Amino acid sequence: MFLSQRHSEIMQMAKDHGRVLVDDLAGHFGVTPQTIRKDLNDLCEQRLLSRIHGGALFPSGIANLEYEARRKIAAPEKEAIGRAAARIIPDNASLFINIGTTTEEVSKALLDHSGLMVITNNINVANRMRVYPGIEVVIAGGVVRGSDGGVVGEAAVDFIKQFKVDYAVIGASAIDHDGALLDFDFREVKVAQAIIANARHVILVSDATKFERTAPVRIGHLSQVDTFITDRCELPTIRRICGDSEVELIETLNASERPDAA
């Protein structure tokens, strides 16, 4: 398949960073945003990229993006989401923290807390938090996934079921417009379901790009969580589900800061 030089560079940037944004590309190439939007539409029509608000994602298909690439997607937004989640969780609380780049941002924001008991199936979270004397870390046993340090499988599910904690922090690879929470690995989903079932207050953390993605395995439904923290939510169906199900919706990005529609 023939691609122009600019299209090839856009594809490489999307592959390196997980996503590309219209304004950034326009500045990089010295062309108008309208030109970049046409480029992205062309690439999306060829199914080389997936369109999102203000840019495009490197497509994942049924396989997840590489973990390091996922870290770079919406990184500032994830940091803000992490801080917002940490403000909800008090000192001297028990909590689950699940696998994910956004849940890892929550773990970073919790490092100034004291008296926490953190149960996790995320080796990255355990390694970060274990050195802080005010935090007790308990890590699930099971199969360690080499791609991201997640502990998955039936052993991890059985381990999680031993606890009943104050809070759970979970993520999702995709959120469908009907409120379905989706992921890629059936083994990871089983752990997430056990976490939801054994927490008194469930906090879903997810940036807005997850509304533009899809994944094949169902974790559960948005109505099962107590608090949903995202950078922005412009989907009426999601806002309606939150209202109908008494899910607190927290948006970390002020309306004045939101990018113009692509």
* 171-197 pLDDT tens trace: 999 999 999 999 988 888 999 999 999
Residue 70's pLDDT is 66
**Is 66 inside a domain boundary?**
no
In this model, does residue 256 exceed pLDDT 60? no
146 and 29 assigned to the same domain: no
Q: Is 203 found in the same domain as 103?
A: yes
Closest by CA to 168, choosing from 195, 206, 190, is 195
Determine the pLDDT at residue 61.
46
pTM comes to 0.76
183 domain-assigned: yes
Q: What are the residues whose beta carbons fall under 8 Å from the beta carbon of 141, sequence distance 6 or more?
A: 151, 155, 156, 159
Q: Are residues 230 and 119 in the same domain?
A: yes
Domain-embedded: residue 84: yes
User: Per the structure block, which two tokens stand in for 137?
Assistant: 């870390």
* pLDDT (tens digit per residue) in 110-168: 999 999 999 999 999 999 999 999 999 999 998 888 778 899 999 999 999 999 999 99
Residues 37 and 138 placed together within one structural domain of the fold? no
Residues 46 and 146 in one domain: no
Question: Which tokens is 35 given?
Answer: 């030109």
- Is the same domain home to 240 and 190? yes
The number of folded domains in the chain is: 2
Q: Are residues 116 and 176 in the same domain?
A: yes
Do residues 147 and 122 lie in contact, with contact meaning Cβ atoms separated by under 8 Å? Answer: no
Q: Are 57 and 22 in contact (CB under 8 A)?
A: no
CATH number, domain with residue 54 = 1.10.10.10
Same domain? 148 vs 201: yes
Give the domain CATH number at 162: 3.40.50.1360
Predicted local confidence at residue 13, as pLDDT? 87
pLDDT of residue 253: 86
- Position 30 pLDDT exceeds 60: yes
Tell me 91's DSSP state: T
Whether residue 124 sits in one domain with residue 213: yes
The domain of 104 spans 74-254
Examine the domain organization and report whether 37 and 150 are in the same domain: no
Task: Place 82 in a pLDDT band, splitting at 50, 70 and 90.
Answer: very high
pLDDT, position 50? 80
Shortest CA distance to 100 belongs to which of 157, 174, 154?
174
SS3 of residue 168 by DSSP: strand
Residues 110, 13, single domain; the answer is: no
- Give start and end residues of each alpha helix (H) in the chain: 5-17, 22-29, 33-45, 67-72, 75-88, 101-109, 123-129, 154-160, 186-197, 236-244
Per-residue pLDDT band for 103 (boundaries 50, 70, 90) equals: very high
